[in-house]
Chains A and B, each alone.
Chain A
C-alpha cells in the first residue's frame, strides 16, 4: 500500500465543484426565521421546531470557545445554513441528477456499493441525495436512512434518543448544529442483529459559503453490532465554509459500534464536530477517526462508559499541512466499574502545519478497577512544523490503572538515507516513513479506505521535500 511518488505533486484532488443546481436555499445568516424556514421546509413536527429554536437561543448566548484553535475567521453572517440540492432523494442511482452523479462518480460511491457494502448514503450540501440499504438487512429491521427520514418515518425511536447524548447546550457548535441540522445518518440495529459489512455515508459540500450541519444518530440495541463509515470532501472556494456536525452513538448492553471517519475537507473549511458515545454494560465503542485537510479541525470523539465492563477504543490520525491546524484528541469518562479505555493518537505536521492532541480522561469514584491507556505520537516533517499535547486526567478512584505515553519525533536523516540507499527516491522514502507512522491507524481501515487514505496522504505530502 505504498504511496506512489507521482501522486505527490497533484493538487487537492476533490477541489472540483459542480454547477450549483440547488432548488431551495435559506437567506444568508442565522435568525429564528431562517431556522423556522428550514423546519417548515422539511415539514417537521412542532417539537423539533421548538428544539431548534431553543438551540438557536443557546447558540446566540454562548460565547465562542476561548481555548483550542483560532476560530476568529468564521463569519456566521456570511453562511448559507441550508441549501437543498434536489427535489427528492434517489433510491436508485439512476434517479440522482446528472451533475451530482458526476461528483459522486469521481468520489467512487457507486463503485463502493457495487462491492456489496451494506448500505450507502450520500449527502450533497444539506440534503441526502442518494440512499440505499441491502435488502436482507432491511428485513432484519435494520434502519439506515438520513436523519430527516429517520424523524419522519421512525419518530418514536428517533425522538427517544435524539439529543440525549449531546444536548444542544453542550457547546456553541453543538447548539448551532441543533438549530440548523439537516441530513446525516440515522442507524438503528435491533437486538442481537449483527451487521456484517459496513454501512457507508459520504458527505460533500458543493456550494460556496455553505455550512454543512449533518446530524448522525446511531443506536445499537442489546447485543447488536454495526460498523459505520463516513468520508467527507469539499471543493476549494475562495471563501471559508463551515462544517459542524453532531454525532451521537448509543451502544446498549453488550452491543458494539465502530465508527470510522476519513475527513478530507479542502483547506478553507472550519471543521468543528462534536462526537460522543454512550457505552452501556459490556458494550464496546470504537472511534476510528482520520483528519486530513480543513483549515481548522476541532474534534474530540468521546465515550461515556456508563455500564460495568464497557470498553472504549479511540484511534485517531491527523495530518496538518501549511496553514492548517488539527486540534484533535479524545475523551473517555469512566462512570462504572471495570471499564477500559484505550486511546491511540498519531499526528503529522508539515510546513507551518500544527497538530494538537487534546485529551480528557475522567475516572469517577465508582469506576473501580478500571484501566486507561493513552498513547499519542507526533511526527514533524520539518523545522517549522509544530505539535502540542494537552492531556487532562481527573482520576477519582485509587483502584485504577492509568498509562500515558507521548512522543514527538522528526523524520530522521538516517531513515531517509537508509531507504534511499536501497534505490528509493527521497520523496517516496518520506512517503514510506509517513505511511509507516500511520500504519497502526491504517490497518484498522477496510481495504478501500486504507488505499484511499494513503492516496490522500500522498496528496497532502505535496512539496514536503521542498
Chain B
C-alpha cells in the first residue's frame, strides 16, 4: 500500500446493455483530494461511478482503471471495497429485514475493521448525531421505506462508519433541500482529508460551494473534455455548459 493511493483511469471505455457510454475516460484522483465530476444529463457520470465500483451490468470494453496501483477492473465489487473504494449511491437499494446496525457490522467485519460492540455503538451514535439522524434509524431496515433525504444521509453514515480511502458520491446532492444539503456536505467535509479522497459527481455547483474541490472535470459524451479548478464550476454555474462544450451539447448530433 503506497502512502497516498490514487485512482487512475486511462482511456476507460464501458458499455451498458450493448451501448458504449464511456468512450475513453482519463482521470486521476488521489487520496486526500476532492475532485468534482460535472456534465450534462446523459454524459456518462453515473456510468463511470458504477463501472468503477464494478456493477455487473456495466461491461468494460477498453482502457484501464487502477487504484493504489492495482487493476480494479479484474476485481469483484467486494474486493474493490476491501481495497478502499466506496460508492455513495444515487438510488440506494432497499434490503428488507436487514437492519442498519447488522448491515454495518457485517460490512465492517468484511472490511477487516470489526470493533467491539460497545465501541461500534458509540461510534455509530456519534456519527448519527453529527448527521442529525434519529436513533430509531439503527433498527430500521436498510433503505426500506426511507425518504429521499434519509437515503442520502444513510449513505453518508455508511461512508463515515466504513472510512474508505476513496469515495465516489453519485449525485448525493440531488433531491436534498438546502438544510439537508448542508448537513450532508458537512458530513463529507468532516471525512475528507489526508486519509480519504472524494470524487463528487453532480449536476449542481451548489454542493461544491461547501466542498471546495481541488479540481473540477467536465464529462461529455463519455469523455473528460475539460478540467480546471473550482472556478470552472463557477463558470458553469453562471454560463451553463454550452460555452464550454460548444452548441453541440444542447442537441447532441444524431438525436
Contact = CB atoms under 8 A, between A and B. Distances in A.
Contact of A435 (B54, B55, B87, B98): B98
Given A421-B53, A421-B81, A426-B78, A433 B107 contact: no
Interface residues of B, number: 31
A261 B102 CA distance: 25
CB-based closest 4 A-B pairs: A436-B97, A439-B97, A423-B81, A436-B98
Interface string B78-114: 1011100011010011111110001101110011000
Contacts of B77: 417, 420-421
A420 B76 contact: yes
Interface in B104-156: 105-107, 110-111, 141
B93 A415 contact: yes
15 contacts: A412-B93, A415-B95, A417-B55, A417-B93, A421-B53, A421-B80, A422-B110, A422-B158, A422-B162, A423-B78, A423-B111, A423-B162, A424-B78, A432-B98, A436-B96
A437 interface: yes
Given A421-B81, A421-B87, A424-B110, A435 B97 contact: yes
B233 to A, nearest CB: 27
Classify the secondary structure of B's interface with A: mixed
Contacts of B87: 421
Contacts of B95: 415, 418-419, 432-433, 436
B107 A418 contact: no
B57 interface: yes
B59 to A, nearest CB: 14
Interface string A423-466: 11110110011011111100000000000000000000000000
A2 interface: yes
B81 A1 contact: no
B107 A424 contact: yes
Interface residues of A, number: 26
Contacts of B62: none
A364 to B, nearest CB: 36
Nearest to A3: B106
A413 interface: yes
B229 interface: no
| Interface-central residue, A2, A422, A426, by most chain B CB under 10 Å | A422
Nearest to B84: A423
A428 B110 contact: yes
A2 B106 contact: yes
Contact of A413 (B56, B94, B105): B56
B112 to A, nearest CB: 9
A396 B159 CA distance: 56
Contacts of A415: 93-95
A412 B57 CA distance: 12
Interface string B38-70: 000000000000000111110000000000000
Nearest to B111: A423
Q: Which of B54, B97, B141 has most chain A Cβ within 10 Å?
A: B97
A438 B98 CA distance: 10
Nearest to B83: A423
